[in-house]
Amino acid sequence: MGYALRIYEAFKDDETKARLLSEFIEQVEQVILNNQLSTRQDVTMSELKLTKEIEQIRGEIKEVELKLTREIEQIRADLTKEIEQTRGEIKEVELKLTREIEQIRADLTRDIEQVRGEIKEVELKLTKEIEQIRGEIKEVELKLTKEIEQVRADVKETEVRLTEKIHEVKISTIRWIVTLFITQTITIIGIIAGLFQVMK
């Protein structure tokens, strides 16, 4: 396995760096192969140099990882703080809404009780008025009953008087007729007696 492939496998987590290092190693290996002038010492120095660069790159990667880790932790802490703050705000809103709901409920209960009281007062007032009207109607009925009884009594009395009057008129008429009849009879008898005397 060539150094280029090893480097690529070692840094494949960072595609860009792995590719650049692999290309660089390939170029070095190509130069070594083409020129055949490099000595073992040069190769060793190149390896050392590459090893230093690799270590340097690893250090840089480690720093980046640490930096990113710190940033992630900071973001996580900030988000946690914001979440807790938001939860606190939500809790405050819930408490506020709960108090408002309780206040509205209390106000509505008070209004309902007041309306019930007013309805009760109206019912009592109407009941009194109805009882008063019933009493007045009863009084009117009693008054009308008395007046009707009085009218009936008056009618009865009038009937009795008229009956008596009619009876008196009948008796008077009979007396007048009897008197007239007697008078006429006496007159006729007188006339007949006179005629007898004249004829004698």
Confirm whether 77 is domain-assigned.
Answer: yes
Host domain of residue 62: 3-90
What is the pLDDT at residue 22?
A: 66
Confirm whether 145 is domain-assigned.
Answer: no
Q: What is the pLDDT along the chain (200 residues), one digit of tens a residue?
A: 465 566 556 666 666 766 666 677 677 767 666 665 545 556 567 677 778 888 888 888 888 888 888 989 999 899 999 999 999 999 999 999 999 999 999 999 999 999 999 999 999 999 999 999 999 999 999 999 888 988 888 888 888 888 888 888 888 888 888 888 888 888 888 777 777 776 65
Confirm whether 142 is domain-assigned.
Answer: no
Confirm whether 22 is domain-assigned.
Answer: yes
CA atoms within 13 A on the CB side of 88: 6
For the whole model, what pTM was predicted?
0.36
Domain count, the chain: 1
Which 3-state string (H, E, C) describes 104-168?
A: HHHHHHHHHHHHHHHHHHHHHHHHHHHHHHHHHHHHHHHHHHHHHHHHHHHHHHHHHHHHHHHHH
Confirm whether 35 is domain-assigned.
Answer: yes
Confirm whether 10 is domain-assigned.
Answer: yes
What is the pLDDT at residue 165?
A: 83
State how far the Cα of 79 lies from the Cα of 71, in Å rounded to an integer: 12
